[in-house]
A and B are shown apart, each in its own frame.
Chain A
Amino acid sequence: MKKLLSNARFAGVFALALLLSACARNPVLLGSTYETLAPLVENRDVPFFAQSEYQCGPATLAMVLNYQGVDTSVDELIPQVFLPGREGSVQPEMLATVRRHHKLAYPIRGTMDALLKHLAAGDPVVVMQNLSLPVYPMWHYAVAIGFDLPNETLVLRSGERRRHTLAFSRFDATWARSDRWGFIVADPGTLPEGISVRNALEAISAYEEVHGPQAALSSWQALVQRYPDSAMGQFALGNALYADQQPSEAIAAFRAATQQDSQMGAAWLNLGMVLLQEDRLDEARNALIEAAAIEGSWQARAQGVLEEM
């Protein structure tokens, strides 16, 4: 009976594998990607740290952090990110550990096209793969450093292999099992090309939670420069400028936020409160009237501040 069961399971998995193999042969890249990117890209400056057993998380972090000028080692990173009970490292802590070393961790869009564009821009990308099948997972982190477009292969620093080449289709099959998760490490004040505004907002906000608004100021400036029409970006910049004792610049940023999104109550409220502190009473009242009229979480507070004026 046991044997029968295991045979049935084997047959099932085999059938599933055949089914999946149909997907694996689909083209994974857009035509425009082939036309715009250089055929051969490889960032050879990314250092290699071989992983010991189960330590691919600390090893990949050592590679990207050292590449960004942080002097650290696998041994130093193990107690910071490895979970002995799980014999591995989890995604939130991978991002958090980057921040502990005063760098930002920007998640990328989960597509092969986005990945290759980041590599073409010279940014190494930490990717999470399931090298095995979903029923028998083998989760793994590696650093993608380049590609060969004509041969459709990706180049990675992976595990014990300094230069691991993988067919796009095979890599994408393993990457898809992590919902194509990956991130780039960057210095404060720089925003890698191609990061979405939402991912950038969350990444900088998380950095600000740990290191404070002044440390995040240059990153907010980079975000607003790239995405000047993001109301949340302007709002965040306003908060960081205010914390950095630059009230007039903060007022300009909050005003820009309200111009991008006239229904953003938090921006009107902060604008009103900073104007009030600067004794610009007429302007403050106008901003607070706007804030008090917008339904939502900040309405009550705006009404309160307005009444006290």
Chain B
Amino acid sequence: MKTLRAYLSTLLIAALVITSLPVAAAPAAPQSMDLVSTQSALANDRAGADRERINEILARADVQEQLLKQGVDLDEVDARVAALSDAEAQQMAQQLEQLPAGAGGVVGALFAVFIILLITDILGLTDVYPFTR
């Protein structure tokens, strides 16, 4: 995967560099008349446009792999990746492990932790135990 990624990066960098060269360098190729998309204009507004575009293209494959690893059903993975914007896909690829995952589960905690959270609940800093109010 690492080597594939490195290979893909090089390829993408080359592709982006070539496509961004002035037309004078390749007079034979007709100029594309596709409009500049809103997404690339917005991405251009953020910093480091070219590198970001490369990362965004690579990100989707990464996210797919990570979702599978996290136990998402195979037939759901594609739809979930497709629903992400480029920026979100990149965020997922880079920091899925660090992103907070809202769960709201019950804390099955050590006694010390229980006492601490009980105190912070009473102080009005946390909202773990309903019986503190």
Contacts and interface: CB of A to CB of B under 8 A. Distances in A.
A205 B44 CA distance: 13
A29 interface: no
Interface in A81-98: 81, 83-97
Nearest to A159: B104
Interface string A162-206: 000011011101100010000000000000000000000110011
A299 to B, nearest CB: 9
B51 to A, nearest CB: 13
Contact of A300 (B22, B86, B105): B22
Interface of A: 6, 9-10, 13-14, 17-18, 20-21, 24, 51, 53-57, 79-81, 83-97, 99-100, 128-133, 136-142, 158-159, 161, 166-167, 169-171, 173-174, 178, 201-202, 205-206, 208-210, 213, 232, 235-236, 239-240, 242, 266, 269-270, 273-274, 276-277, 296-298, 300-301, 303-305, 307-308
A92 B117 contact: no
B103 A21 contact: no
Nearest to B70: A85
Contacts of B37: 239
B3 interface: no
Contacts of B41: 232, 235-236, 266
A3 to B, nearest CB: 10
Contacts of A159: 104
A94 B92 CA distance: 12
Contact of A208 (B38, B49, B107, B125): B38
B54 interface: no
5 contacts: A10-B112, A88-B105, A205-B85, A269-B36, A297-B44
A116 to B, nearest CB: 18
A273 B71 contact: no
A131 B127 contact: yes
Contact of A173 (B38, B82, B104, B124): B124
B113 interface: yes
